[in-house]
């Protein structure tokens, strides 16, 4: 495959669309709640998944792509991916999480055109070791699919999991 820019443009857009769709399938009243059945639905709220993916892309993926343009001003930002940082985000409010994700993703999609004459298979030093640009961008949409899968499970099974828990509680009380 030699059409890297076209391929990655499609992948970044499709995975973003799927991720946004998955989040939209979860009732908004659940967006900041921890899901039931953590073994299947995970231990983060849906909103935290969106924040996590956005911050990964803003702090790691996007700067890693910019490095291929030999831009010395591009540096990875500190990525405080922890409970303390998440608490601060919640204090500021969660409005616009999806729009911020879309904005950061669009920056990456727009950057692809500038990378069209890049050797996508030539390894360079990255935060993951000696890796080619194709791996860096692939990691972005893989990460989106990983968290999108969890969000899709939440959208499909959250309410059923609540019903199961209620049934178990009722049976235990009998």
CA-nearest of 125, 141, 144 to 67 is: 125
In 10 A of CB 56, how many CB atoms? Answer: 19
pLDDT digits (tens, 9 = 90+) for 106-157: 999 999 999 999 999 999 988 889 999 999 999 999 999 999 999 999 999 9
Distance CA 137, CA 154 (A): 26
Tens of pLDDT, residues 36-93: 999 999 999 999 999 999 999 999 999 999 989 876 555 556 778 889 989 888 887 7
Q: Strand, helix or coil at 76? A: coil
pLDDT of residue 172: 72
Residues whose CB is less than 8 angstroms from the CB of residue 119 and which lie 6 or more positions away in sequence, other chains included: 132, 133
Average pLDDT, the chain: 91
* pLDDT number for residue 94: 77
Q: How high is the pLDDT of residue 2?
A: 63
Enter the pTM of the model. 0.90
Query: Residue 15 to residues 5, 114, 153, 166: CA-CA distances in angstroms?
Result: 15, 21, 16, 34
Task: Give the pLDDT confidence score for residue 11 in this predicted structure.
Answer: 97
- Between the alpha carbon of residue 54 and those of residues 10, 39, 84, 86, 170, the distances in Å are 18, 24, 17, 12, 40
How many CB atoms lie under 10 A from the CB of residue 63? 17
Q: In the prediction, which pLDDT does 159 show?
A: 94
Dmax of the chain from CA atoms? 69
Q: Considering only residues 23 and 94, tell me which one the structure prediction assigns the higher pLDDT.
A: 23
pLDDT, residue 75, reads 56
**Is pLDDT of 170 > 80?**
no
């Amino acid at each position: 495959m030699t059409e890297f820019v076209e391929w990655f443009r499609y992948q970044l857009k499709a995975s973003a669309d799927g991720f946004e769709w998955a989040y939209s399938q979860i009732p908004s009243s659940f967006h900041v709640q921890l899901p039931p059945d953590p073994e299947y639905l995970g231990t983060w709220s849906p909103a935290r998944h969106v924040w996590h993916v956005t911050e990964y892309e803003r702090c790691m993926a996007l700067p890693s792509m910019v490095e291929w343009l030999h831009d010395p001003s591009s540096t990875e930002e500190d990525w405080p991916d922890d409970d303390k940082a998440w608490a601060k985000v919640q204090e500021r409010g969660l409005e616009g999480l999806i729009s911020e994700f879309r904005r950061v993703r669009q920056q990456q999609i727009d950057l692809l055109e500038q990378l069209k004459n890049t050797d996508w298979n030539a390894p360079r030093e990255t935060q993951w070791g000696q890796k080619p640009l194709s791996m860096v961008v692939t990691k972005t949409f893989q990460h989106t699919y990983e968290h999108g899968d969890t969000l899709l499970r939440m959208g499909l099974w959250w309410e059923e999991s609540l019903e199961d828990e209620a049934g178990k509680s009722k049976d235990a009380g009998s």
